[in-house]
Amino acid sequence: MHEHQTFAEDVAELALEQYADKTIDRRTLVKALGMLGLAPVFFKSGAAFGQVKELVVVNWGGPAIKAYQNAFGKPFEKKTGIKIVIDGTGPGAGKVRAMVDAKNVTWDVLDAGVGTALLLGSKGYLEAIDYNIVDKSKVRPEFVYKWGISDYLFSFVLTYDGKKLGDRKPTSWKDFWNVKDFPGKRLLRKNPIGQLECALLGDGVPHDKVYPIDLDRALEKIREIKEHTVFWGSGSQSQQFFMQGEVVMGNLWHNRSNLLRRDTKDRIQWTWTDGIVASGVWSVVKNNPGGKDAAMKFIDFAIGDVDGQIALFKVMSSGPANPKATAMVPADMRAYDPSQPENYNKQVKFDAEWWGKNEIEAFERYRDVISS
């Protein structure tokens, strides 16, 4: 079991569940999952990459990989001569390191969490994104990094059970720490990313002062709420805590909050206010077998594929990375999209630079606080 699920892994899991439930059709599934890691790469000329026979794109796809390889990989191969191999193992940091160390790299492109990408990149396990090939103006400048570039947006949002809390609805993280007026168990994540931020917001720190994170202050705030709190590891687990009625308030990925809202007919809701909006990233493994340039071309295509990003959002609530796609989201679905300006502007923008420098210390100390 992988203990620290990434957002991408969670999204893939959900898509498969929905497909099984028949709430989405196969074409939409293929398209959306394609966006997670297999968006079509239409190379201008196959000859330019004459040496490239295949690209391995790694996501958290799961058992349905084979089904969309048939529906998607094969047509692509026909078009460009380059085979797309989909590997659903999941681009965990440890696995990438193991293959690079062993000089046996079999993966090309990763759909990675930004923390994973920064850690791997800083230790030399990734190729830097080549911005001569990848047009970074296709995505928001906040989420352009040396070791990866935005593939879709997601948020950590304050989610609550409206029925259990009665008439008073929490409106900010300050209410999350107010156990007197809002009694009941809380839910936070085992991993400190997105949690230390909400602790500071709950302590009255304004949006623009959240970073650099004051670790001592944030952890003190976590310690204060710990006895009223349980901690989730995977997205499905966070949903389960709410469905079991175990908690009244939590810090969840917005896609899970949106599912809870839908499944409980609005009993469980969330607010974009004080959310923390972050981005998953496309990254390329060091010395990837398909060659750096082909992998970069793939990424450049994916971040420009507006229709694909909208399809992805419709199925999995993942916010489009490309602002052009954001503008084309149907009006009735905008309330659930973290990338819409009216939602986006209410949130704190995730600072990957701070996390890149402090992840290990934050991780160690956070886990120590919650488990002791």
Binding site for other proteins (CB under 8 A): 1-4, 92-95, 97, 116, 119-120, 123, 185, 188, 190-191, 226, 230-233, 237, 244-246, 359-360, 363-365, 367-368, 370-372
Residue closer to other proteins, measured from CB, 136 or 164: 164
Cα–Cα dist 76/71, whole Å: 9
Residue pointed to by tokens 């196969």 = 26
The DSSP result for 142-183, as a single string, is GGB-SS-EEEEEEEEEEEEEHHHHTT----SHHHHT-TTTS-
Dihedral angle, C-alpha 251, 257, 263, 264, nearest 10 °: 50
Residue closer to other proteins, measured from CB, 1 or 47: 1
Closest CB 70 distance from other proteins, rounded Å: 29
Three-class secondary structure of residue 244 per DSSP:
coil
Closest CB 92 distance from other proteins, rounded Å: 5
One-letter identity of residue 81: G
Closest CB 113 distance from other proteins, rounded Å: 9
| Residues with Cβ within 8 Å of residue 293, at least 6 apart in sequence | 49, 130, 133
Residue closer to other proteins, measured from CB, 133 or 215: 215
φ and ψ at residue 15, rounded to 5 degrees: -60, -40
Residue closer to other proteins, measured from CB, 19 or 232: 232
Residue closer to other proteins, measured from CB, 182 or 232: 232
Closest CB 94 distance from other proteins, rounded Å: 4
Closest CB 3 distance from other proteins, rounded Å: 6
Residue closer to other proteins, measured from CB, 76 or 232: 232
Cα–Cα dist 149/143, whole Å: 6
Closest CB 188 distance from other proteins, rounded Å: 8
Task: Count CB atoms within 10 A of the CB of residue 86.
Answer: 22
- Nearest CA to 57 out of 19, 94, 83 is that of 83
- CA dihedral over 358, 364, 367, 371, signed as positive or negative: negative
Closest CB 244 distance from other proteins, rounded Å: 5
Residue closer to other proteins, measured from CB, 93 or 213: 93
Cα–Cα dist 36/200, whole Å: 32
Contact present, 202 and 221 (Cβ < 8 Å)? yes
Residue closer to other proteins, measured from CB, 102 or 331: 102
Closest CB 100 distance from other proteins, rounded Å: 11
Contact present, 195 and 278 (Cβ < 8 Å)? no
